[in-house]
Structure 1
Amino acid sequence: MKDLNPSTANVGKFHDRFVTADGQTRASVALSHPETLWFNTGTLCNIECLNCYIDSSPTNDALVYITADEVRTFLDQLKDRKWPVREIAFTGGEPFMNPQMIAMARASMERGHEVLILTNAMRPMMRKSMREGLLGLKADFGEKLTLRISVDHFRADLHDEERGVGSFEKTLQGLIWLRDNGIKMAVSGRTLWSDSEADSRAGYANFYEQHGFDIDAHNPGQTVLFPEMDESIEVPEITTACWGILNKSPEAIMCASSRMVVKRKGAETLAVLACTLLPYSPEFELGSTLEEAEQDVQLNHPHCAKFCVLGGASCSA
């Protein structure tokens, strides 16, 4: 995350886990209905985006590659804890840079879960071994597998503005390969630009129609538009009173239904985090097991307010 002016944004806020700057009780969220367990496959990525919230790049290995055996350990914990998880989701970095990506997805679907993989659909996914692996998963599990492809904007020039010249065309070729092989797709876009949501969805609809992609631009689960997570922008703290004022339920917030497992470079154990958005914030590390991660999450970060509560966004399908 590129913090443009951290000295002036949210001064005095988000310091106390339980109390806001003006002395009110900070809102918290219980793990009320676990539906998605995320795994970060590692922060290494084949590209370096201009506004990557996790600072993924070809050199950032702060989160190292997780293995299929480690994923199986947490799948065992899901069964032991009786979490009613529907979906196992993989994010990065670029997940297809992890050589065990196919094995991790297979292990998850063999346990009966749906699998979501977030990818830029570029060269790592298009390597022969990964394409063969994806075709095997499609043959064995069909609709249980979904790939969500990062298409920051439906216009090539704006997408490339974020991801580098030529990125759009490479991603498009990946999308076409997935289309031609009948692999279920979704798209994630960004709201960095001045388009209204209606204009954005209309633009994606035209893009999908042009290329014959079976993706619904008007379904937020199939075309996810993420608000920008800029820590230089002031946001309000979320108090317990906000639920009624905003007419929102804590059960609708992402950390009510998901957790994320990461493997920190040099750490002795894996860590379970409150959500996908805060991989580097120590206070959102809930322990090393799913049992420890069943604790409530205090909404003590600007992303909690802007992205989840006010923006209403979710990383899950």
Structure 2
Amino acid sequence: MKDLDAATANSGKFRDPHVTADGQTRASVALSHPETLWFNTGTLCNIECANCYILSSPTNDALVYITRAEVETYLDQVTARGWPLREIGFTGGEPFMNPQMIDMAGAALQRGYEVLILTNAMRPMMRKSVRAGLLALQADHGDRLTLRISLDHFRPEVHDRERGAGSYDKTLEGMRWLRDAGLRMTVAGRSVWADSDAESRAGYAALFAREGFDIDASDPGQTVLFPEMDETAEVPEITTACWDILGKSPRDVMCASSRMVVKRKGAAHPTVLACTLLPYTPEFELGETLAEAERDVQLNHPHCAKFCVLGGASCSA
């Protein structure tokens, strides 16, 4: 039904990679300054959200667990290609469901990268072995390790509406452990609610002050408010003329600075995608190697317009 609704809302749009529905040249983005390489650790998750763009759940293994050896293969390619990366990001699913998550983060940290792990801070992160691993990584690498916590709203009833009853309290429990352990954390919320940006940030600021969390609610890098990714919403196509009209540059879009590695169920090898938001769209699969993934990306999807160009959002820190 979602695919049908999306096709109806954007009838005639996003069909030709190079030309928009009204015959204009579609905008494209070059990998101009690679800063972040993402690894999807697998789509399995301990919860199932009401609206998860990647459809993570306790049963969805469409993207299987990636391994430390596979991560290191791509880190070797980064060196060989001379990519000036700053950050290695891990997303899921819930990354701490992957039994090699600590080892993969350690491999990236040992090479001098900053590491960002996206987590709901619930039971998978709170296992004793995982907590011990996080403490060891922090002791060796300090603030180069950051955990971004998915806290959809500062009010528990709104957060739980998305993630299930009791999830807010479990996430806060994990955040309190991170606080007490001295691990660096940031927060990712959603801007889909009725609150304005200022109201949302004020609400998060009050929560952080009350809990003693060292997170700046006014800093978009520490408290990220993501626009909702609804493929059924009608959005404009981005043409080459839009950059000047909007006062934006292709360098500002996420695919100018990042790529994501995934491993599909049944595949012999991982593959590289244009971005983190489109794991199931074949058009945005660039090849198995970073060399293949250096080609330009055509902005031929509603997410390209709403989330990245018009929303100005980025999954990176």
Q: TM-score range by the shorter chain?
A: over 0.9
More divergent stretch after superposition (117-126 vs 6-15): 6-15
Evaluate the alpha carbon distance shift between residue 208 and residue 37 of structure 1 in structure 2; reply closer, same or farther with a 3 A threshold: same
Alignment of 1:162 onto 2:145 = no
Residue 302 of structure 1: aligned partner: 302
Residue 226 of structure 2: aligned partner: 226
Residue 26 of structure 1: aligned partner: 26
Is the partner of 1:8 in helix, strand or coil?
A: helix
Residue 213 of structure 1: aligned partner: 213
CA distance in 2, matches of 1:108, 1:120: 21
Instruction: Please list the CA deviations of residues 84-136 of structure 1 after superposition, one character each: whole Å capped at 9, or x if unmatched.
Output: 00100000000000000000000000000000000000000000110000000
Is the partner of 1:278 in helix, strand or coil?
A: coil
CA distance in 2, matches of 1:44, 1:312: 28
Evaluate the alpha carbon distance shift between residue 4 and residue 126 of structure 1 in structure 2; reply closer, same or farther with a 3 A threshold: farther
**TM-score of the pair, normalised by structure 2:** 0.99
CA distance in 2, matches of 1:170, 1:247: 42
Alignment of 1:59 onto 2:59 = yes
Amino acid at match of 1:76: D
Pairs within 5 Å for 1:95-244: 95-244=95-244
Residue 39 of structure 1: aligned partner: 39
Alpha-carbon offset, residue 191 of structure 1: 1.5
Is the partner of 1:17 in helix, strand or coil?
A: coil
Tell me if the contact between 1:2 and 1:51 (Cα under 8 Å) persists in the aligned partners: no
CA distance in 1, matches of 2:161, 2:73: 40
Is the partner of 1:261 in helix, strand or coil?
A: strand
Amino acid at match of 1:261: V
CA distance in 1, matches of 2:69, 2:103: 9
Tell me if the contact between 1:274 and 1:285 (Cα under 8 Å) persists in the aligned partners: yes
CA distance in 1, matches of 2:238, 2:6: 20
Amino acid at match of 1:310: L
Residue 259 of structure 2: aligned partner: 259
The Cα RMSD (Å) is 1.0
Is the partner of 2:148 in helix, strand or coil?
A: strand
Is the partner of 2:6 in helix, strand or coil?
A: coil
Residue 93 of structure 1: aligned partner: 93
CA distance in 2, matches of 1:266, 1:19: 34
Q: What residue ranges of structure 2 are gaps of 5+ in the alignment?
A: none
Amino acid at match of 2:92: G
Tell me if the contact between 1:3 and 1:230 (Cα under 8 Å) persists in the aligned partners: no
Alignment of 1:81 onto 2:69 = no
**TM-score of the pair, normalised by structure 1:** 0.99
CA distance in 1, matches of 2:3, 2:218: 31
CA distance in 2, matches of 1:174, 1:2: 33
Tell me if the contact between 1:20 and 1:26 (Cα under 8 Å) persists in the aligned partners: yes
The alignment of Structure 1 onto Structure 2 pairs a total of residues equal to 317
Evaluate the alpha carbon distance shift between residue 4 and residue 15 of structure 1 in structure 2; reply closer, same or farther with a 3 A threshold: closer
Is the partner of 2:293 in helix, strand or coil?
A: helix
Identity of aligned residues (%): 76
Instruction: Please list the CA deviations of residues 250-286 of structure 1 after superposition, one character each: whole Å capped at 9, or x if unmatched.
Output: 0010000000000000112211000000000000000
Tell me if the contact between 1:36 and 1:316 (Cα under 8 Å) persists in the aligned partners: yes
Alpha-carbon offset, residue 3 of structure 1: 5.7
Alpha-carbon offset, residue 7 of structure 1: 4.3
Alignment of 1:69 onto 2:69 = yes
CA distance in 2, matches of 1:274, 1:102: 25
